[in-house]
């Protein structure tokens, strides 16, 4: 709920803090005191168009701020965090979060919005406000006027009142709709893109034939690059090997040239003769013996390496270069290396399988589409039946409320008519209409009814829907216009009933309505009528204000007695008091 509203330099209000509690809060005051400015401040916080003319004369800008407490899983919390704003979460068991919202309007016309302490677009403030507050005024009914909102309200009512299986029916319908749309899309692709699919299949087939003709192996390009490098330097490699072999094992062409094997053997012989005299020298002799073995092994390997180079090197080089050229042809077209070429081939085969025309696939899809359409028709017809049953109950409940609100001949009419196409909610067009009297034709909400009539209709609707489809806070601006006496008492009683479920703020001139308040807030003018003050009344002050509203003379003893009587009688029936 809204915990507090801070207003500064708006209209005749210089600086006022309006604390709001749960239940029903009544806002009263003399004409021109500034009650409308409270609703204007809420409009600002809901992201509506701001009028620079509302800035108090002499001030640079007007400010409206609100502190709102909601459950931590409320949609407004995610919207604030998405905007980069801070959310104060209650660490206790209540699971609540506190949000800070503000809007300033400069006298020059510029408007700024802040969400959770961060600057945000005014539109984001409006998105948040829609989840928090519903305003019903003489000329501005902001809830349940859109087709989507009316359908949602009826569906929520159907879930609770008409049939408990409505959500399951809607979920089953949506699952069928997903299958229907997927099947229709696949069938459309087959029928509408035959040429494109054929060209793509032909292109993929050519590519795969080229790749399959080469038959590349994973890593083959790397292996061939290394082999090509070796074969290109064959003579220099052979010279290096034979030279090294001669240095280690001797050269047949120069038998007297010193060889490493001979020299190491001489060193080993010298050490072996004296190694018994000193353990340290014996260790060195052992290491020389190991060196002799290693040199002989390397010399043998060098001989084998050089001999291997003699095996048809030029012919093999030609084969390698030919194979490398074939692989390069693939990598120029299908990938940076053979690994990418093979991956392209894999995905191309999978895609080709889906492009190859199955002569029976189109027929199967067409048949399946017909089956799903029949299933959708049956399921949507079931949803229509449930909605119509819920509409009858909703209209009957609202009719009872309207009779108590001095509109006995008025009626809510809810039309549920099937449309041609399916959407995720079925195929129904839902519309709420008002019939002001028995002879009148039903008209859409907002057309053919006075502001007072429409406000009372919306009140009746909200009272009926409060238990199933509420927003946290409702604001009613002079919903009691044009009524009095018993009807005014019933309006107050129904506002009180609505406040059993949500927070309700009402601007009113009627004491019969104000008597039902859980909290009475007075907007009063200064002696020169230039500045207004906003404050919460205590019980004694409430009696005085009700007396003023009744007789215009708060000092009248009779008026005060009447006011006290109104307070004493402002109770709900036992069935609504819990």
Q: What is the pLDDT of residues 414-441, one digit of tens each?
A: 999 988 899 999 999 999 888 877 788 8
Position 378 scores a pLDDT of: 94
- Give the 3-state secondary structure of 49-109: CCCHHHECCCCCEEEEEEEEEEECCCHHHHHHHHCCCCCEECCCCCCEEEEEEEEEEECCC
Helix or strand holding residue 17 (H, E): strand 13-19
For the chain, give the longest Cα–Cα distance. Answer: 145
User: 144-151: long-range contacts at Cβ-Cβ below 8 A with a sequence spacing of 24 or more?
Assistant: 144/432, 144/445, 144/458, 144/461, 145/445, 145/446, 147/429, 147/430, 147/431, 150/414, 150/430, 150/431, 150/432, 151/425, 151/428, 151/430
Using the predicted structure, report yes or no on whether residue 341 has a pLDDT greater than 60: yes
The residue that leads in pLDDT, 172 or 252, is 172
Using the predicted structure, report yes or no on whether residue 497 has a pLDDT greater than 60: yes
How far is Cα 64 from Cα 54, in angstroms, rounded to an integer? 12
Position 447 scores a pLDDT of: 66
Rounded average pLDDT over 215-230 = 87
Q: Return the closest-CA partner of residue 510 out of 548, 463, 474.
A: 548
Of 152-166, 189-203, 354-368, 474-488, the least confident: 474-488
How far is Cα 550 from Cα 92, in angstroms, rounded to an integer? 45
Per-residue pLDDT reduced to its tens digit, 274-331 = 878 888 888 888 888 888 889 888 888 887 777 777 666 777 788 888 888 888 899 8
- Spatial neighbors of 169 by CB under 8 A, at least 6 apart, are 379, 382, 383, 386
Using the predicted structure, report yes or no on whether residue 364 has a pLDDT greater than 60: yes
CB 450 within 8 A of CB 482: yes
pLDDT-derived band at 255, boundaries 50, 70, 90: low
- Spatial neighbors of 249 by CB under 8 A, at least 6 apart, are 259, 260, 261, 296, 299, 303
Using the predicted structure, report yes or no on whether residue 468 has a pLDDT greater than 80: no
Q: Which of the 8 DSSP states describes residue 251?
A: B
How far is Cα 371 from Cα 373, in angstroms, rounded to an integer? 5
Position 53 scores a pLDDT of: 82
Of 314-328, 476-490, 496-510, the least confident: 476-490
Task: Count the Cβ atoms, other than its own, within 10 Å of residue 575.
Answer: 7
Helices (H), 405-514: 451-465, 485-498, 511-514
Per-residue pLDDT reduced to its tens digit, 100-155 = 999 999 888 888 889 888 888 888 888 888 888 877 765 555 567 778 888 988 88
Per-residue pLDDT reduced to its tens digit, 56-97 = 888 889 998 999 988 888 888 888 888 888 888 876 656 888
Position 578 scores a pLDDT of: 45
pLDDT mean across residues, the chain: 83
Rounded average pLDDT over 38-51 = 83
pLDDT-derived band at 176, boundaries 50, 70, 90: very high
- Cα angle for residues 184, 188, 193 (degrees, 5° grid): 160
pLDDT-derived band at 470, boundaries 50, 70, 90: low
Alpha-carbon separation of residue 72 from 3, 90, 342, 343, 349 (angstroms): 16, 9, 52, 48, 50
Position 422 scores a pLDDT of: 92
Q: At what angle do helices 260-274 and 279-308 cross, to 10 degrees?
A: 160
How far is Cα 38 from Cα 18, in angstroms, rounded to an integer? 9
Count of all residues that appear for the chain in the document: 578
Cα-trace Rg, the chain: 45
Let me know if 325 is exposed, middle or buried by CB neighbors in 10 A (0-12, 13-18, 19+).
exposed
The residue that leads in pLDDT, 341 or 48, is 341
- Cα angle for residues 401, 403, 409 (degrees, 5° grid): 130
Position 153 scores a pLDDT of: 85
Question: Quick one: tokens of 251?
Answer: 């050269």
Question: Quick one: tokens of 178?
Answer: 């997903």
DSSP string, 542-561: HHHHHHHHHHS-TT-HHHHH
CB 85 within 8 A of CB 23: no
pLDDT-derived band at 173, boundaries 50, 70, 90: very high
**b/e burial code for range 294-303 (CB count within 10 A of at least 16 → b):** ebbebbeebe
The residue that leads in pLDDT, 184 or 136, is 184
Position 142 scores a pLDDT of: 52
Using the predicted structure, report yes or no on whether residue 162 has a pLDDT greater than 70: no
Q: Return the closest-CA partner of residue 511 out of 490, 530, 488, 534.
A: 488
The residue that leads in pLDDT, 493 or 311, is 493
């Amino acid at each position: 709920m809204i915990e507090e509203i801070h207003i500064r330099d708006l209209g005749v209000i210089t600086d006022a803090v309006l604390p709001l509690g749960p239940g029903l809060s009544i806002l009263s005051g003399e004409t021109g005191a500034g009650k409308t400015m409270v609703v204007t401040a809420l409009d600002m916080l809901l992201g509506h168009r701001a009028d620079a003319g509302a800035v108090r004369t002499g001030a640079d800008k007007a400010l409206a701020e609100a502190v709102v407490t909601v459950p931590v899983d409320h949609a407004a919390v995610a919207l604030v965090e998405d905007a980069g704003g801070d959310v104060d979460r209650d660490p206790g068991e209540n699971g609540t979060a506190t949000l800070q919202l503000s809007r300033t309007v400069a006298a020059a016309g510029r408007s700024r919005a802040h969400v959770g302490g961060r600057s945000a677009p005014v539109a984001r403030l409006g998105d948040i406000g829609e989840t928090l507050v519903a305003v019903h005024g003489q000329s501005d009914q902001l809830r349940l006027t859109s087709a989507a909102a009316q359908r949602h309200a009826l569906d929520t009512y159907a879930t609770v009142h008409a049939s408990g299986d409505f959500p399951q029916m809607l979920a089953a319908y949506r699952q069928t709709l997903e299958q229907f749309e997927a099947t229709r899309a696949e069938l459309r692709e087959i029928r509408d893109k035959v040429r494109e699919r054929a060209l793509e299949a032909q292109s993929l087939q050519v590519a795969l034939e080229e790749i399959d003709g080469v038959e590349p192996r994973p890593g083959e390009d790397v292996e061939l690059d290394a082999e090509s490098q070796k074969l290109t330097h064959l003579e220099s490699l052979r010279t290096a090997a034979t030279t090294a072999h001669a240095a280690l094992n001797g050269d047949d062409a120069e038998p007297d040239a010193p060889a490493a094997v001979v020299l190491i053997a001489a060193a080993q012989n010298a050490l072996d003769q004296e190694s018994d005299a000193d353990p340290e020298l014996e260790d060195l002799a052992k290491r020389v013996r190991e060196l002799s073995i290693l040199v002989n092994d390397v010399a043998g390997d060098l001989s084998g390496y050089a001999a291997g180079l003699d095996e048809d090197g030029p012919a093999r080089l030609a084969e390698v270069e030919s194979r490398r050229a074939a692989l390069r042809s693939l990598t120029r077209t299908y990938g940076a290396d053979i690994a990418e070429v093979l991956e392209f081939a894999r995905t191309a085969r999978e895609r080709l399988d889906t492009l190859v025309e199955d002569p029976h696939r189109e027929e199967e899809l067409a048949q399946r589409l017909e089956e799903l359409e029949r299933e959708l028709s049956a399921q949507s017809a079931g949803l229509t039946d449930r909605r119509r049953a819920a509409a009858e109950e909703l209209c009957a409940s609202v009719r009872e409320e309207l009779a108590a609100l001095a509109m006995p001949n008025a009626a809510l009419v809810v039309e549920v008519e099937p449309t041609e196409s399916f959407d995720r909610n079925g195929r129904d067009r839902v519309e709420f209409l008002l019939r002001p009297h028995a002879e009148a034709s039903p008209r859409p909400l907002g057309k053919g009814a006075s502001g007072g009539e429409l406000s009372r209709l919306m009140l009746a609707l909200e009272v009926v829907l409060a238990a199933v489809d509420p927003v946290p806070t409702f604001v009613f601006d002079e919903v009691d216009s044009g009524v009095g006496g018993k009807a005014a008492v019933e309006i107050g009683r129904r506002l009180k009933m609505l406040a059993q479920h949500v927070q309700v703020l009402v601007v009113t001139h009627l004491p019969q309505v104000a008597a039902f308040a859980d909290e009475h807030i007075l907007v009063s003018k200064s002696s020169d009528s230039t500045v207004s003050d906003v404050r919460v009344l205590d019980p004694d002050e409430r009696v005085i204000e009700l007396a003023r509203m009744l007789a215009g003379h708060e000092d009248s003893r009779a008026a005060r007695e009447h006011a006290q009587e109104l307070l004493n009688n402002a109770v709900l029936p036992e069935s609504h008091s819990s």
